[in-house]
Structure 1
Amino acid sequence: MHLKRIRASNFRAFGDGTVAPSLDWELAPGLNILVGENDSGKTSVIDAIRYVLWTTSYEFIRLFETDFHITGTTRARSLFIEATLVDLDPEQEASVLEWMTHEADGSHSLIVFLQARWVPPKANKRGRVEAITCSGPNGTGPEIGTAVRELIRATYLRPLRDAEAELRPGRQSRLSQILGAHKRIDGQEQNDFDLAAPATVPSNLVGLMAFAQHHLGEHQVIRDVQDDINDNYLNKFAFAGDALSSRIQIAPELGLQPILERFELALLPSSTIDPGERCIRGLGYNNALFMATELVLLRDGDELGLLLIEEPEAHLHPQLQERVQLLLERTSKAAEPDSRPVQIIMTTHSPSLAAGADIASLTLVNRARLFSLAHGKTKLLKSDYEFLRRFIDATKANLFFARGVAIVEGPAEALLLPALAAASGYSFNEYGISCVNVGGVGLYHYARILQPIDGSAIPIPVACITDRDIVPNEATYISPPKNNRKRFEKDYTPEEVEALVKTKVDRAQGGSTIVCVSNNWTLEFDLALHGCAQLMHDAIHLAKKADSRGERLTEEDEKKTLVDAGERWKELSNAGHSPVELASLIYQPLVEKEASKAITAQYAAHLISTGDYGKGDELFNKLPPYLQQALRHLTGRAKP
């Protein structure tokens, strides 16, 4: 049995589908990962499932006024949450037969429908929430009974959980519930202690407790203390003819549940400490222990194998996050023998976890709208999924949590573009934009991640920034290709240039994703051509000097090099070159490998931050048109 679909209307961030979107999410039977920025609706999805199914920890779940969706000052008066469970085995179906829904195609499902009404306060009366949970589509079936409720409870691990506290002994402790549900616990409630043969060690837990109870009670120290209390103090309180006496024992009753509630689970000390010593371990590994314990119960149980887990990365360092993610993925597929698959629904803010997951298991949540990235839901091809599984890393996975994404093809763009944006008043940091460097061959794989197959637009602007790679005729230091391939401007007709650009655009553009192709050749050349000539000249001059020394320049060396660059710039800019010739000469050292593009970008970013090369609108207007287009799209700022 697994959760196939969850719907909700007017619950928290989700509206009724008119002004604000409602919730309607189809889940995979294995691993489902909700990603997105804060306050996008991920926790509301988890809570919707908790409220309709309840949880195995028997926590008190109640709807409040604030659970009803609000727009402006108008709060909804009613809400519903509907969960559809499928693939019940014959025994499960038999136990909840009267609540089952029989579909037209002959299949069966268990639909659980929670409907609630908010009654506002009136004179001398407090506001209240009235709720009822029934079965069937839209709650048309009978009210949910105990048999159903015990079968469908989900296991929930809250965010920033106190794993140590959860595994401590106590009444109705989580560990006692897990132990009590384990398949090996059957029969342990039998008391097989034989008072006639007290030296015989029993096999069952209750028998062992009775054995310990008996022998501890017979211990001379315990008996002496007990007699001291009774004879010298307690009996002095008794009236004539009455007798007061007490008994020291481990537990007041010999039941299995009280015994299980006395157990605790804790990590052993590290290898340098004696295993018998008590030692406080870190929050991260205690969290891992808690998750492992819950997975044992989910693996072996007979009821709903559903784990809801918020932020499994809590307290875990990145490498441990990756190991936890792999374990959860394996558990969702029942990779171990004699185990059942566990359906897992988790939220995360961790790029490390998102990077390690199969993209097909991700669902992006944005402004209370859910966008599945599963196969058949996006424009990604099968080969794209395979490529991304191999090459996406934590840095690139930032795109799942950003408000805008700039996809670039090299380290120079990744270093230089954010600096240009910040100095121009389009700060990536302020707008929540992630700059993702995908290398020279990955752009089109990444570009389609946020493009739904149905043509709808995920409201996250994406700008793919790529080079036109047509060499200007003035770059005479470039050798003609030997195979008669087209390379220079003179080799193309205007129509062919337009077609080349269109091909690049059409390959990746769609939805909220645009492709910005350089207006001429490359990023560095176009910057030099369209208004940032001195900036690129000075940055390349610094990079040449640094490359010749094999190390970064000292502050003093930088000052001297910039003075020299200034003299050379005067000569170059006054030599009568056309703008294209000037840009070609500035760019030449990068083509001929006299300077590194990445180091040039580092120096250019540094020079931009000084403000000496322009800032705000002044700098923005110097940028090539394709970069202006990208920045406006990413930030949502219209052209003045």
Structure 2
Amino acid sequence: MYLSSLQIKNFRCFNDDGHIINFNPGLTVLVGENDSGKSAIMDAIRIVLGTTDFGWIRIETNDFFNEDISREISISCKFTSLTPDEQAYFLECLTYEKKGAVNTPCLYLHWKCKYLLSFKPPRPVSSFSTGKDGNGPAPSSEARELLRITYLRALRDAYSDMQAGRHSRLSQIVQNIPGLNQGKSEFQDGMDIHELSLVGITNLSNNLLAAHPSLKSINDDMTEILGKQMLLKKDIIKTRFEVAGSNSNDLQKTLALLEKLDLAVDKNASAMQGKVGLGTSNIMSMACELLLHKEAETEKKSSFLLIEEPEAHVHAQRQLKLIQSLENEAESKQQQIIITTHSPLLASVVKIDNIVMVKEGQVLPLAKGHTMLDDDDYRYLEKYLDATKANLFFARSVIIVEGPGEALLLPTIAKLLGCSFTDFGTSLVDVRSTGLRRYARIFQRSNIDDTWGIKVACVTDRDVMPNCAPGICIDEKYTLDPSTWPKKEDRNWRAEADFTLEEATSHLKNIKQKADGQQVVTYIADHWTLEYDLAFAGLSHSKMQEALIRALVKVSYAKQNWDKKTDDIKTAIKALPTLEDRSSYFYKYFAKKTASKADFAQQFAFELEDAFTGNVSELKSMLPSYLVDAIEYVAGE
């Protein structure tokens, strides 16, 4: 069986709308910014199901939504795919739901908590029930033990968990391994010591300690002192050393022995020296917890593992190995794993189907059927969604661009306009000329009633050059007369003359329709491409023209030629009759590969900072309007 859904009302950041979180049978990854509700989901599961370390959550006033203790917290879990044995355990608690022509058993668990305001001070009381409507009996204590989950908290002290001590986590895990106490409980002369069970080792150790000659001599001295110096003549008292716990039952003896164990790195068989670091301790701790799941698989029992921030203290390559191992473990075996993460690296390598975004108490699964992504989109994103793009899962708004020019330049422009991407929690994603539509669809819900709250701006080129551009940027033999151009089917570019007014309108509409929808808005270049549009908007202003030409020259020529080339370009631009001609001349440097778009964007960002810092309105009037609109959209309320 597995936890297929969780409903939460009035718990922490979740209001009384009845938020439903759907989980996968294998791995589910909860992603989102801080205080979005991820830990609240994990704690809600722990409250209802209990944990294998028998941890307990005390309900406080701040666990109620808006700290309103007149409300009632309600948490409901639904389990499906129960095995025959599991159905037998929960027989009187099952609900049968119709799937097609078949009645399928499932298990509903309802936990409710409210404050008794009539008491001073008020105190919380909780109730537990089953059934779809919560009118069924609570399961037996034995049955509830099958539901306990293994939980690894965030910021855990993994090193201490693996050390010896009373009630150590390591001893709790090891004691649950079947067959642990196989062997003989008493030592016989001539016996191979390896035939002893753990209880046998304890008994032998206790006997050897109590009967040690040095201790026996000390005991004899103690008896002599008592008899000669402390007691009366007829008092008969003899002492003996007794090892604490030697009269305990076998289970207590086993626990006492296991609590002496540390989990340490064998430094003779590894390159590691010194104390184990936090990251390695975390990995060892998770490996130890997975022992419980391995044994559950052997016994054909369902098991549940919750991990908050598995990436804690773990470097990138180990993170990749860890998440892929957890995903494979969950898919290939009868166990469910739910994790929370703040790591774009982890989010980038798990299947999109396994990700659930959590934002301000709203839960938005990315599994098939919940988004506008189709099967091909999922395959594409799983292959090309890397860590630099996966930060979109944690963003408050997203701006998607199609090239390095926009990716390098837009953060600076946004900062100068007072809309810093960092300050507004905006993620910039460069899809490198392909896949803009696919990334945009991540944020479009199949159910348009799903509230999302994440604004997405898609910035793209118009890809239609002015009629003068072919002769300036491609070949001088091309004139304004389209008859001098190659046939449409023989070229990979289009100019304005190739479109009627109706066709031009349809072209723009088609570009927008690829990604537009819900809170995703496409911003198309005003004229052609980024660099052309920057020139078109800025060459008429002396200050911006200076910044554009200076950046272009610095990335195109050796330093000793900068002054001369700057004057040459200014003169050439001034001699051209129209703004389209001048902007096309500027873009010629990129079309003919004289300048790198990425290098120019980086250098132009420096020039803008030098020239326009603190001059928001002046800069805004000299920039392409589509860039300004896109930035203001993702930064707006």
TM superposition score normalised by structure 1: 0.89
Is 1:510 the counterpart of 2:517? The answer is: yes
Q: How far, CA to CA, are the matches of 1:516 and 1:603 in structure 2? A: 24
Deviations 1:501-531 (A, max 9, x none): 1111111111211111111100111111123
Corresponding residue for 1:384? Answer: 377
In the superposition, relative to structure 1, how do residues 195 and 513 fare at CA in structure 2: closer, same or farther (>3 Å)? same
Deviations 1:13-56 (A, max 9, x none): 10111xxxx32012110000011111111111111111111111
Equivalent position SS for 1:114: strand
Alignment of 1:593-608 (within 5 A): 593-608=593-608
Alignment of 1:581-600 (within 5 A): 581-600=581-600
Q: How far, CA to CA, are the matches of 1:305 and 1:154 in structure 2? A: 7
Q: How far, CA to CA, are the matches of 2:517 and 2:236 in structure 1? A: 90
- 1:343 shift after superposition: 0.5
In the superposition, relative to structure 1, how do residues 200 and 165 fare at CA in structure 2: closer, same or farther (>3 Å)? closer
- 1:144 shift after superposition: 3.8
Q: How far, CA to CA, are the matches of 1:414 and 1:108 in structure 2? A: 52
Equivalent position SS for 2:111: strand
2:343 to 342, 350, 354: 350
- 1:127 shift after superposition: 1.9
Is 1:154 the counterpart of 2:142? The answer is: no
- Whether contact under 8 Å (1:179, 1:260) holds in the other structure is yes
- 1:232 shift after superposition: 5.4
Equivalent position SS for 2:195: coil
Alignment of 1:171-182 (within 5 A): 171-182=166-177
- Whether contact under 8 Å (2:69, 2:114) holds in the other structure is no
- 1:242 shift after superposition: 5.4
2:367 to 355, 374, 378: 374
Equivalent residue letter for 1:307: L
Corresponding residue for 2:112? Answer: 115
Deviations 1:298-321 (A, max 9, x none): 122255411111000001011111
Equivalent position SS for 1:6: strand
- 1:141 shift after superposition: 1.0
Q: How far, CA to CA, are the matches of 1:155 and 1:54 in structure 2? A: 9
- Whether contact under 8 Å (2:76, 2:108) holds in the other structure is yes
- Whether contact under 8 Å (2:11, 2:63) holds in the other structure is yes
2:275 to 274, 280, 290: 280
In the superposition, relative to structure 1, how do residues 110 and 422 fare at CA in structure 2: closer, same or farther (>3 Å)? same
- Whether contact under 8 Å (1:35, 1:363) holds in the other structure is yes
- Whether contact under 8 Å (1:363, 1:370) holds in the other structure is yes
Corresponding residue for 1:11? Answer: 11
Q: How far, CA to CA, are the matches of 2:193 and 2:572 in structure 1? A: 101
Q: How far, CA to CA, are the matches of 2:432 and 2:218 in structure 1? A: 77
Equivalent residue letter for 1:507: K
- Whether contact under 8 Å (1:234, 1:245) holds in the other structure is no
Alignment of 1:131-170 (within 5 A): 131-170=126-165
- 1:405 shift after superposition: 0.9
In the superposition, relative to structure 1, how do residues 280 and 201 fare at CA in structure 2: closer, same or farther (>3 Å)? same
* Number of equivalent positions: 610
Equivalent position SS for 1:139: coil
Corresponding residue for 1:341? Answer: 334
Is 1:204 the counterpart of 2:211? The answer is: no
Corresponding residue for 1:528? Answer: 535
Equivalent residue letter for 1:513: V
Q: How far, CA to CA, are the matches of 1:88 and 1:613 in structure 2? A: 63
Corresponding residue for 1:429? Answer: 422
2:291 to 289, 292, 296: 296
Deviations 1:254-283 (A, max 9, x none): 53232222222122237577x9xx941011
Equivalent residue letter for 1:168: Q
Equivalent position SS for 2:348: helix
Equivalent position SS for 2:175: helix
- 1:76 shift after superposition: 4.5
- Whether contact under 8 Å (1:54, 1:154) holds in the other structure is yes
- 1:582 shift after superposition: 1.8
Corresponding residue for 1:311? Answer: 309
Contiguous gaps of at least 5 residues in structure 1: 335-339
In the superposition, relative to structure 1, how do residues 347 and 35 fare at CA in structure 2: closer, same or farther (>3 Å)? same
In the superposition, relative to structure 1, how do residues 244 and 394 fare at CA in structure 2: closer, same or farther (>3 Å)? farther
In the superposition, relative to structure 1, how do residues 170 and 565 fare at CA in structure 2: closer, same or farther (>3 Å)? same
- 1:380 shift after superposition: 1.2
Equivalent residue letter for 1:100: L
Corresponding residue for 1:337? Answer: none
Percentage of pairs with the same residue: 35
Corresponding residue for 1:258? Answer: 256
Equivalent residue letter for 2:591: V
Alignment of 1:76-95 (within 5 A): 76-95=70-89
Q: How far, CA to CA, are the matches of 1:428 and 1:239 in structure 2? A: 90
In the superposition, relative to structure 1, how do residues 598 and 217 fare at CA in structure 2: closer, same or farther (>3 Å)? same
Corresponding residue for 1:482? Answer: 486
Deviates more, 1:317-326 or 1:446-455: 446-455
1:31 to 27, 30, 51: 27
Q: How far, CA to CA, are the matches of 1:343 and 1:272 in structure 2? A: 32
In the superposition, relative to structure 1, how do residues 10 and 596 fare at CA in structure 2: closer, same or farther (>3 Å)? same
Alignment of 1:556-575 (within 5 A): 561=562, 564=564, 567-568=567-568, 571-572=571-572, 574-575=574-575
Q: How far, CA to CA, are the matches of 1:608 and 1:102 in structure 2? A: 66
Equivalent position SS for 2:523: strand
Q: How far, CA to CA, are the matches of 2:232 and 2:118 in structure 1? A: 57
In the superposition, relative to structure 1, how do residues 484 and 77 fare at CA in structure 2: closer, same or farther (>3 Å)? closer
Equivalent position SS for 2:311: coil
In the superposition, relative to structure 1, how do residues 51 and 583 fare at CA in structure 2: closer, same or farther (>3 Å)? same
1:499 to 501, 506, 510: 506
- 1:569 shift after superposition: 6.3
Is 1:245 the counterpart of 2:242? The answer is: no
Deviations 1:388-420 (A, max 9, x none): 111111111110111111111111110001111
Q: How far, CA to CA, are the matches of 2:227 and 2:451 in structure 1? A: 79
- Whether contact under 8 Å (1:530, 1:622) holds in the other structure is yes
Deviates more, 1:460-469 or 1:293-302: 293-302
- Over the aligned positions, Cα root-mean-square deviation in angstroms equals 2.7
Q: How far, CA to CA, are the matches of 1:539 and 1:375 in structure 2? A: 46
2:54 to 53, 58, 81: 58
Q: How far, CA to CA, are the matches of 2:36 and 2:58 in structure 1? A: 23
- Whether contact under 8 Å (1:202, 1:208) holds in the other structure is no
Deviations 1:70-98 (A, max 9, x none): 1xx75552111001112222222222322
Equivalent position SS for 1:590: helix
Q: How far, CA to CA, are the matches of 1:415 and 1:229 in structure 2? A: 84
Alignment of 1:189-228 (within 5 A): 191-194=184-187, 202-227=195-220
Q: How far, CA to CA, are the matches of 1:170 and 1:235 in structure 2? A: 42
Q: How far, CA to CA, are the matches of 1:406 and 1:616 in structure 2? A: 20
In the superposition, relative to structure 1, how do residues 532 and 414 fare at CA in structure 2: closer, same or farther (>3 Å)? farther
Equivalent position SS for 2:288: helix
2:90 to 92, 96, 117: 96
In the superposition, relative to structure 1, how do residues 505 and 6 fare at CA in structure 2: closer, same or farther (>3 Å)? same
Equivalent position SS for 1:156: strand
- Whether contact under 8 Å (2:549, 2:566) holds in the other structure is no
